[in-house]
Structure 1
């Protein structure tokens, strides 16, 4: 088994490489990602929605020139949806072609040979985990693992330990280069300790004011300094409010971009009210904040 490609010899170098993609990692995130790479361990990222967990996987894939393969977890997801399936329509066409050829030649089909040909690898549909095992290099993003159930966690633990799967009709498929695995959780439920123990763990917080301003300038280079500071400050205030859905970094970027598009040079009551839908996603939150915009912008 070969090692993963290494684009950085230290957490500081990895942080610089991530910064070049537009992802501003703090020391804790950069160190955790560096150790996950060096130790060939999955990286378990937990935190509130919008703290940059998924974006970290995208940035790591860009840094290493790796294919990003995403498995979106949901209630009821099972191993078949994550691993592989057989292309039934193509198998059926292949069977009909065999029958037609045999009929034309007068030959008798051999049942064992036909069955073996139906389960050839060309009919195998690789789902995210199998694709990640077969691709090199790759970053496997297992997004929102907290939405899956216990049985799927147990299956995942085995795959992440062995970096291999067995398909009865094909045999074992083992990764020559293990994918870098990033698991994310919004902590809607507790993930079992057995899975966490297999991983390196990092809790991602929302960025502080200065880092959020840096993120805005990194992702929106033409954003005026005053507007960036006002948007970041307002979002920090919104996160401290008792909202149904506090804004994440993605909403901060959307709000700043929306303000740019309407020609705002600074954040005032009118421009904030007109673009509030870019940062708040619930009517109750928007109504509450709209009634307190003067106070919000003055703080």
Structure 2
């Protein structure tokens, strides 16, 4: 995403709620409150919750609503400084050294200062977020931090404490204006309290039926009203049983979209069974519904 025309931060909880709503995100007042406070206090926002409940979308909508650049750091096991912060363009540096040698340059310090200059520095998301840009402080999304190793989490703690990184060859690079930081985690492991203390915390839960239906009306406007109601009712009941992975809001939207593409105006057992792979992503969960759980839930939905 490129920078747009940066807009002023919301001045109230209601303005924050309106910003999210304008971006198509159906939020409750609790989320709007913690987001407003995070922006005003210039503290990172730590969003925790199950996969698929819309945590990442909050950062995207926030960036679009404020006209800021969105910089995303997708975390994974083995993520290190060279992938997340910066690295040197070694190939270009070697060419520079060969050219200097061919030109007869023998001064070692002069050669080092030449190859270890910003010209050869490759900026990764962390450094990009700290350096910002003409569009104002960017929104820096640190996505699924629980997937990264604890060593990287400790490094990130230092970055978020002072909004600076140290590049030995260049010195310390500080943010003139701290980025708007949003951290998400699916809670596959616990994040250390030291990092959480620097953030404002919010648990993003599955929406209730009313909010999920409103989300569907925005995201899948072509869906039949009756179909949308039955899809939401089915998913809400599905989350009450013990599944390996309950469907998130993203799966609800995908299922409603798929059923609409198939021309369905109501939910029936055959279509539900044929499209269950859109809603559930583990065979054990699908098999459980095929053994009778799905039919029971559908009967309850139809009974109203």
TM-score of Structure 1 vs Structure 2, range by shorter chain: over 0.9
Separation in structure 1 between the aligned mates of residue 119 and residue 52 of structure 2, nearest angstrom? 39
User: Are the counterparts in 2 of residues 5 and 137 from structure 1 also a CA contact under 8 Å?
Assistant: no
Q: Secondary structure at the match of 2:275?
A: helix
Correspondence for 1:155: 155
2:46 is the alignment partner of 1:17:
no
Correspondence for 1:174: 174
Task: Using the TM superposition, give the Cα deviation of residue 277 of structure 1 relative to its aligned residue in structure 2, in angstroms.
Answer: 0.9
2:294 is the alignment partner of 1:297:
no
- Can you give the 5+ residue segments of structure 1 that lack an aligned partner in the other structure? none
Alignment of 1:1-299 (within 5 A): 6-100=8-102, 102=103, 107-135=104-132, 136-292=136-292, 293-299=294-300
Task: Using the TM superposition, give the Cα deviation of residue 229 of structure 1 relative to its aligned residue in structure 2, in angstroms.
Answer: 0.7
Separation in structure 1 between the aligned mates of residue 221 and residue 118 of structure 2, nearest angstrom? 47
Task: Using the TM superposition, give the Cα deviation of residue 81 of structure 1 relative to its aligned residue in structure 2, in angstroms.
Answer: 2.5
User: How many positions carry a matched residue from both structures?
Assistant: 291
User: Are the counterparts in 2 of residues 141 and 183 from structure 1 also a CA contact under 8 Å?
Assistant: yes
Q: Secondary structure at the match of 1:240?
A: coil
Separation in structure 2 between the aligned mates of residue 228 and residue 24 of structure 1, nearest angstrom? 16
Q: Secondary structure at the match of 1:265?
A: coil
RMSD, aligned CA? 1.5
Change in CA separation of 1:34 and 1:175 when aligned onto 2, cut-off 3 Å:
same
Deviations 1:178-202 (A, max 9, x none): 1111111111222111111100000
Task: Using the TM superposition, give the Cα deviation of residue 291 of structure 1 relative to its aligned residue in structure 2, in angstroms.
Answer: 3.1
Give the TM-score normalised by structure 2: 0.91
Give the TM-score normalised by structure 1: 0.93
Separation in structure 1 between the aligned mates of residue 118 and residue 84 of structure 2, nearest angstrom? 17
Task: Using the TM superposition, give the Cα deviation of residue 228 of structure 1 relative to its aligned residue in structure 2, in angstroms.
Answer: 1.0
User: Are the counterparts in 1 of residues 9 and 39 from structure 2 also a CA contact under 8 Å?
Assistant: no
Task: Using the TM superposition, give the Cα deviation of residue 5 of structure 1 relative to its aligned residue in structure 2, in angstroms.
Answer: 5.5
Separation in structure 1 between the aligned mates of residue 198 and residue 7 of structure 2, nearest angstrom? 21
